[in-house]
Amino acid sequence: MSVQNPYEELGLTEDASFDEIKAARDRLIAESGGDRKRQEMLEAAYDAILMQRLRMRQEGKIKVPEGVRFPERLSAAPPSTPPTPVQQSPAWLQRLIDTPSTKDVLLPAGLFGGLAALSVLLRANSSILQLTLALGIGLSLYFLNRKENLFGRAILLTLSGLLVGLLLGGLFYSLLWAPITSIALSDEQFITLVTLILLWLVCSFLR
């Protein structure tokens, strides 16, 4: 659409600023009452003025503020910064770690706590300690198998917990021999206690 005098169309003079040009266009469009033809004329006048200002800028006659929209070009969208990748644990670890409910933690804790009390409070007796360990292994197998119904994995995790518990118990006992003997715990009692704690952790927080 051709506009003979775009400044008069917008009610402006040629020395109007860019802010005044935009404000006049917006105001007149708002006053047009939805007249599509009138709005097209106002847009054409606005674009004609910007085209003229662009030519004058290219010729070095005026300085156009940055950010002014010209009709023949669109401002390039800023390159989107790729989101920072979230560090995730390996898939095998995610499959292994469990997030149990409070009930799923407290029930095994109570049962293993009872076994630990038996191993500590009763007189050091190898048969009693072996019985508590056997019951702990059975509890671990039960709770692990109940989660995924994978008995093979339950056996593997339970045996791993048993082995680590026995090794850690022996290591800690050798390091803490003096304070442990002061509370009248034998080496077998202490190792059994540490192993039961490891088995509880395994069956509560692994699957």
Evaluate whether 133 touches 192 at the Cβ level (below 8 Å).
Answer: yes
Kindly state the average pLDDT of the residues 44-62: 83
> Given pLDDT bands bounded at 50, 70 and 90, which one contains residue 72?
very low
SS3 labels along 21-66: HHHHHHHHHHHCCCCHHHHHHHHHHHHHHHHHHHHHHHCCCCCCCC
Q: What local confidence, expressed as pLDDT, does residue 1 receive? A: 44
> Given pLDDT bands bounded at 50, 70 and 90, which one contains residue 54?
confident
* Angstrom distances, CA of residue 174 to CA of 114, 162, 195: 25, 18, 15
| Structure-token pair, residue 62 | 């005026």
Total residues found in the chain within this entry: 207
* Angstrom distances, CA of residue 155 to CA of 97, 144, 145, 161, 167: 16, 9, 9, 10, 18
Evaluate whether 98 touches 207 at the Cβ level (below 8 Å).
Answer: yes
Q: What local confidence, expressed as pLDDT, does residue 68 receive? A: 52
> Given pLDDT bands bounded at 50, 70 and 90, which one contains residue 197?
very high
Kindly state the average pLDDT of the residues 185-207: 87
Q: What is the C-alpha separation between 204 and 37, in angstroms, rounded?
A: 73
pLDDT above 70 as % of the chain:
80
CB atoms within 10 A of CB 14: 9
CB atoms within 10 A of CB 173: 19
Above 70 in pLDDT, residue 83?
no
Query: For 165, what's the count of Cα atoms within 13 Å in the CB-facing half-sphere?
Result: 24
Question: Does residue 206 sit in helix, strand or coil?
Answer: strand
Higher pLDDT, 33 or 137: 137
Kindly state the average pLDDT of the residues 122-143: 84
Higher pLDDT, 130 or 126: 130
Kindly state the average pLDDT of the residues 2-24: 82
Above 70 in pLDDT, residue 106?
yes
Question: Element (H or E) spanning 197, and its range?
Answer: helix 187-205
